[in-house]
Structure 1
């Protein structure tokens, strides 16, 4: 059920089985207030036959009804279509409840007037809200399904909207604020960092841009009216005091009468006295009750919301009267972060000041221009309200192209060195030859540096996929939600009657695997019943596993489901295995297979030790995959909860063949004998000559041993964190070894090239 803190109104999703009949005490995670929650009243049960026809799932998976005579009976049922499940929230006049739609088999939100607030004027005003909301058809505005007919014994109005499972922007701000209060040096999770918060803000702006084009102003924009769904979708909520820009005066709808008669019900809500809106966010023209309040007023409120998103503190602190004083003058607090040592980017300060200008004529011409400036900031571009001067333009250009700048600087230094050399020998022909040589070598260095940057980007992408898997796993562990996802033990894979339906022989893995379901393998001595609750929470992670493997491709072009299946089972992807090893003694591995030995314990495996109780992503030494995919490169990271408790390790294996094809084969390369990836000690992690080798001829022990690169001078330079080139002699042949650092891995990309192939007779 949904429960709210009596003090700060923060909403919580509490499992029903945790609530006792006599009531259970809970402590609010936001304000630490202790309050009592009682179990919700149970609705009267439907007749047995109807229950069989309209059973609804208690989780978020789809439930279907056979379209037969029973389906027609369902449409003709005489019982209530919407069955209330509990309260979501309430305001001065209205309340929102969760309900089940017994015909379409889904959860919905039903908003209706309180009985004590119902009157002809409020009913007219409430119905007007439904009319406005229904005409705003946009992905970032909460959809309204229908107006619900009142029961035969009441005179009331309610309307049915989409039920959104998630959290408000207020919750996002509070979570980020609480993390900093507990640890000022903490790094926020991805979903709470500044870029993510600005992303939510931009989606809300898109909804308001659309409403303004439809000539509708919201007039009550605030973080609590912006909902963030579980999958990052954003909805602007509560259009209760919205207004058509060209509509008739509000007095015809009874708004001023409602405000005067119900002012005592809106303390801290949407109205204070005769002021329409929330004092902490409204514009000065709105609090003064001016008749020409329009789109700039909504822009002012968005500017105040942006203030809170970047500073994590209220723009107008104090009690309601104090906030009204701030609102009348159009003032907000200084734009300073809640943590004094954290700096606010000057571009964002300028955007907030522009959007919250006291005079509406001094604000942006539209919300679209406000949103474009925020998007420009996220792209690293200049914003319209703070144009760059020449030094700042140069700095921005260099900052956006760091690798190119480094290459250019290196090129200039090499050319200068060449010019200095030929000047000293003072020979025209030698100078010309030296220049040609240095130009060629510089060009080759640029090519090698560019390839190193590409490899850097690819491995960062793979690391991001692993981090995303770990974040999703910990979110499911810490935020348990009911689901009916199936998971399979290793013994199920060995039993044809219990195995997943898609378990088929894969030519890639050389065994039967399941693409839809991972496998659960308990360590020796671990009982299934002890880990079933944890695995049920993680069961939906199967979708993230499959997406992780498909997203490891080097391009992002859409593919069909058939092509995806061929990649997963026949052709292969850069990531061949993805898995979780939990400290509780269980392995959750994808694709699913039944080939782990009975004594397999993930906690003693090298990949587990590689990532256990460490603070970042770690790449390990290559090893031969016992499952038949040849040489693979492991990568692992620790799983921690919000309180820093260690839960286990998330890992993945990247195949050598994909690394060689994707990273060690440079298009247009001339004279390249062999390409390598070396670690920070100068040891060979992988080389292009290993493509096609039958690794089954090698023992696992020899495969784990990394050979030192045979050129000592290159090894010494790598240990000193240097990039460059070295000329060597192989037998009677001259060669040049080019090497450049891969920053994300602290590795090096190396190319060994025939000197004659690139320098010719001028060598």
Structure 2
């Protein structure tokens, strides 16, 4: 199934924390508490759960007063964003990474008095962290401190879908100002992104169970976030070890107005992706009609309708506007009472919505003969009008010629628009995959850096643990070596290699060697997890690392003392080598945050792109560097590969300055190896000045059409980098053969 599990399964079965949506996460302009949306005011839209609200205890009231310490010196509290019966959410600055994040913390008393709630809180962290997707709010770290357990996550700004619906309703309140069908395509594009996030979660074996407009957010740059995974649960094969099945039996878990019929019946062990799909259908109903799908005066009446899927007819809240037949059918299929009559998976709903936006027939409502003829006429207007005008040619040849010219111009413009729409759709889809891949890097680095702090600062020595130094005897001593075409040499897929800076006596770092020697297994698991997160099927781990390769090439932990541990193990034994002088180390030495760049040519594995994070102790002392290397060929082959674009020339990954990090054409590049230490490669600027101006202005997405070249681009969430596709203009716009 592809779901990554950590035993035991601490997954949540009920909401113990209402969602908090932050309108402003900037410490410079704090949002007043009146602007924090603490769930909906409508009681029919509140999430049902099995835990009652707790009155604030003395400890909670004291916590509200004393918010100056979260138990970690690297977090600086900026303001309190919200507080519930179970805990608090603060806006904090992470001084290690120099960024502002949200810190969500469970009240310490709740942890001791209700261990099940504590376990489910941990489950919310785990399940969200295992869903690396651009449209799912990322979790940064789990923190266990004296003040209690908590976790950091991205603090997002924007408007919820509930607010968008309310605004659209206000804008269409007067009959003479109804413009919903003109703005609806934009809302549907946002909704499709939500569906893409859910499709990814379902692929991972997780259902959300609390989808509603208030849990979906549109950011200031049109980014989408699916929030509040507090009652998510595994399904299918992923749920075979779910320990809370008995406790959920017969429980209604979710928000009544947006539940599926099976959720309302409490058959939680039988839920699958089609339950979320039903909820998506209800949200789509509101986006289209600007009113809820159910009308009820109390929860009992509502739940009765939900169990039978008795929706209101698909009608706009103003009778003057008629909803297109295709949209009515799509909503009807998504919200069918019988699961077998719904779309089989969310991807099918996405495809039908895209067909509607392209003006094509939808699978939910196939065209009749007359409807197909009418649709054909609209799409082939020039041909039809040409035939009609031919009959009148004798009497009005000039008028005919003029009309045909106009129709031809309009048809050409329509065709160009369709080409661009299709082209940008392909660019945006691949950019999403690129972003998903790249966003796995910060998580891996932060985990590695956390391990580095413990090892370098307070690590316990393991004198009996085996370790393998990079010397002339490495190949003789290291067990289970494998010839690796991916790495270009024999490697150890089980053991890390330890390298001491050239000329440094081993005795000076022996204590550190004995501290980090057991980390081979940790590094191996980190490497394998990068493959699982990108959809790699489980297999023989050693062979997968050596033969197939993982998204991450090397996992490196370097100390300021001059010792580096890198996995997988290999023998370099390079005279003059000092990890403290290498590009991956100098990239972040005495800096804050994650940095990617300084590509260099590895002696064995060719061109590598490092991403690094400096390691500091709580007293802000620099200890070393956590770094990850990625191979150019792998990035080009697995990440930048984009097909089915007419006239495709190349694809690019650019940094925030418009410098070319890697090109899709590098997939076929011969791996270059050098015997001597390479100090680094220089990056070249992209040559299109118009695109460079767009990057300088931090433009989010768009296309640039020239007489020779057409470029499509999208700004990624990762490091402000850009994914760019280059195509031959003439070939892109010519009729397919």
TM-score range relative to shorter protein: 0.3 to 0.5
Q: What's the TM-score, normalizing by structure 1?
A: 0.46
Structure ranking higher on relative contact order (CA contacts 8 Å, 6+ apart): 2
